[in-house]
Amino acid sequence: MDTRLLQTFAALARTESFTGAAAELRLAQSTVTVQVKALEKALGTRLFDRLARGALLTEAGRRLLGVAEEVLEAESRLFAAATEDGPVSGTVVVGAGETQCSAHLPGVIAALRSLHPEVEVHLEPCGTTSAVEGLRAGRLDCALLLEEQVDFPGVTAERIAGQPLVLVCAPGHPLAAREGPVTWHELARENFFLHEQGCSYSDWLAERLQAVAGVRPRLTRFGSIEAARSCVAAGLGLTILPRANVIEALRDGRLTAVRGPSLPDVSVHLARHRRRLPSRAARAVASQVVQHFQQESEDRAAAATKEGHGARPRVTA
């Protein structure tokens, strides 16, 4: 049996749409129809009910989908085993939010080019929802998710790091000169420029500010962290970002850390498809990602220890 028929079967089961499956597989819709009919004929059973709202798995289709995925996984293992010798090569597609794409993944790619020059990494900026969909559809080999908990069907994830968050404002902002910590009540009276909804740490801060009684916080959301950061640098308000995304601006004085309430670290999870066997190239990328965050954590701990021996510790987050 041609396993491409099983790939089409799985894609149609995920998307519940002949049009969606065709787009995912980069095939003509008529080809998807022909392949599904061919598989149904070969198996002697109808796999989908064709309804106005889409293609839905029949009872037989639900029963056979898991077996089909096991066959595809076995095929993936077969090809992986055949290429275990020789240099690591191939294309790996990584999904990640803008904060990770701008602050961390360039360093990962630079290191990989030195270690494995035949590995090509493609970055796909995306939020958690799009990343999970991409993993399930097979468009992404792995993804970095900034979430406290990752529990999605078909996806496995491991926490690989915690990223410290920092409240920042422009050096000329009134809160920049405060010697004592700012309270939540005071913060709730400020203007905030935050990353778009769905960003875990921005959503957390927005909920915390909105929980302050008697104050209505002024929140502006942007699809780009650079837009939010630029508004803050212009003195228009505050924002919250992982420290890695503002470290250079803090060092050169374009932004200032605000002393305020304790902020939680945001967790970084490395996510993959639960049943998909990663290629050698994908394993090399994942290994370098983990190493990058481990090194960053060690460097941050060393810097904190060094500051602790100074006369006056510098507040960074």
Q: What is the pLDDT of residues 149-161, one digit of tens each?
A: 899 988 999 999 9
Residue in 136, 146, 160, 115 with CA at minimum distance from that of residue 284: 115
Question: For residue 167, what are its two tokens?
Answer: 């409240």
AA identity, residue 229? R
Phi then psi for 251, rounded to 5 degrees? -70, -40
9-45 pLDDT tens trace: 999 998 899 998 998 888 999 999 999 999 999 999 9
User: Which structural domains are found in the chain, ordered by start?
Assistant: 3-82 (1.10.10.10), 90-161+267-305 (3.40.190.10), 165-264 (3.40.190.10)
pLDDT per residue of the chain (317 residues) written in tens, 0 to 9: 788 999 999 999 988 999 989 988 889 999 999 999 999 999 999 999 999 888 999 999 999 998 998 898 888 777 766 666 667 888 999 999 988 998 899 999 999 999 999 999 999 999 899 999 999 888 899 999 999 889 998 899 999 999 999 999 999 999 998 888 999 999 999 999 999 888 899 999 999 999 999 998 899 999 888 999 999 999 999 999 999 999 999 999 999 999 999 999 999 999 999 888 888 899 999 999 999 999 988 888 887 777 665 544 443 33
Bridge partners (DSSP) of residue 239 are 168
